[in-house]
Chains A and B, each alone.
Chain A
Amino acid sequence: MLQLSAITKTFRLAKRRKAAEEAVDPRERGRTFYALDGIDLEIPNGGVLGLLGQNGAGKTTLLRILSTSLKPSSGVVLCDGEDLTKNPLEIRRRIGFVSGNTGLYGRLTAREMLQYYGRLHGMQTEMLRERIDELSATLDMGAFLDRRNETFSSGMRQKVSIARALIHDPEILLFDELTTGLDVAAAESVLAVVEMCRERNKTVLFSTHHMDEVDQLCDRVAILHAGRLCFEGDADGMRQQAGESFLDKAFLKIIRAEPGEVAA
Chain B
Amino acid sequence: MRGGVTTVFFKEMRDILRDRKTLLLMILLPIVVVPLLLNSLISFVMEQQKEAETEVLEYVIFGEEHAPDLARAFAETKRLKKTTIESQEKLVAAIRSDEIDFGIVIPENAASRLAEKSQATVELHFDNASSGSRVESRVDDVVDEYNEELTKARLIELGVTSSRKRRAVLEPVRLSEKGTGDIREVLGDNVGGMLPYFFIAFCFMGVVYPAIHLGAGEKERGTLETLLLAPIPRHQIVLGKFLAVFSGGIIAVLLNIASLGTWIAIKAGQLRGTLGTMIGSIGWLDLTLLALMLVPVAAMFASLLLSVSIYARNSPEASSLISPFGIVMIVPAVLAMLPGVELNWFWASIPVTNISLAMKELVKGTMDYTMLLAIFGSSTLIAGLLLFFCTRWFNRESVLFRM
Residue positions of A touching B, CB distance < 8 A: 11-12, 14, 64, 67-71, 89-90, 92-93, 95, 97, 99, 101-108, 112, 116-117, 119-122, 124, 161, 164-165
Contact = CB atoms under 8 A, between A and B. Distances in A.
B1 interface: yes
A69 B221 contact: no
Counting from the closest, the 9 A-B pairs by CB-CB distance are A103-B222, A103-B221, A120-B230, A107-B18, A92-B231, A119-B7, A103-B223, A89-B231, A93-B231
Contact of A101 (B1, B222, B229, B397): B222
Tell which of B1, B19, B400 has the most Cβ of chain A within 10 Å. B1
Nearest to B221: A103
A11 B397 CA distance: 10
Given A93-B231, A95-B229, A119-B2, A106 B401 contact: no
Nearest to B397: A70
B231 A116 contact: no
B87 interface: no
Interface in B218-247: 220-223, 225-233
How many interface residues does chain B have, given as a range? 20 to 34
A211 B116 CA distance: 117
Contacts of B230: 92, 117, 120-121
B135 to A, nearest CB: 60
A116 B397 contact: no
Contacts of B228: 69
B90 interface: no
B15 interface: yes
A108 B232 CA distance: 21
B398 interface: yes
A17 to B, nearest CB: 14
Contacts of A101: 222
Nearest to A97: B229
A108 B15 contact: yes
Contacts of B403: 11, 14
Given A99-B222, A122-B231, 18 more contacts: A64-B225, A69-B229, A70-B397, A89-B231, A89-B233, A92-B231, A102-B222, A102-B225, A103-B223, A104-B221, A104-B223, A107-B19, A108-B15, A117-B226, A119-B2, A121-B230, A122-B1, A164-B226
B11 interface: yes
Contact of A124 (B1, B14, B227): B1
Contacts of B233: 89
24 contacts: A67-B229, A69-B225, A69-B401, A70-B401, A89-B233, A90-B231, A97-B226, A97-B229, A99-B222, A99-B225, A103-B226, A104-B223, A105-B221, A105-B223, A107-B15, A107-B18, A117-B226, A119-B7, A120-B8, A121-B230, A121-B231, A124-B1, A164-B226, A165-B226
Contact of A120 (B7, B19, B221, B223): B7
Tell which of B1, B226, B231, B397 has the most Cβ of chain A within 10 Å. B226
Interface of B: 1-2, 4, 7-8, 11, 14-15, 18-19, 220-223, 225-233, 397-398, 400-401, 403
Nearest to B222: A103
Given A69-B225, A92-B230, A117-B226, A105 B15 contact: yes
Contacts of A103: 220-223, 226
A108 B225 contact: no
Contacts of B397: 70-71
Contacts of A102: 222-223, 225-226
Given A105-B15, A107-B18, A116-B7, A12 B223 contact: no
Tell which of A69, A89, A90 has the most Cβ of chain B within 10 Å. A69
B398 A12 contact: yes
Contacts of B19: 107
Nearest to A12: B398
A105 B220 CA distance: 11
Nearest to B220: A103
B223 A116 contact: no
A122 B3 CA distance: 8
B309 to A, nearest CB: 16
Contacts of A124: 1
A107 B213 CA distance: 11
A113 to B, nearest CB: 9
A68 B398 CA distance: 15
Nearest to B219: A103
Contacts of A165: 226
Nearest to B400: A69
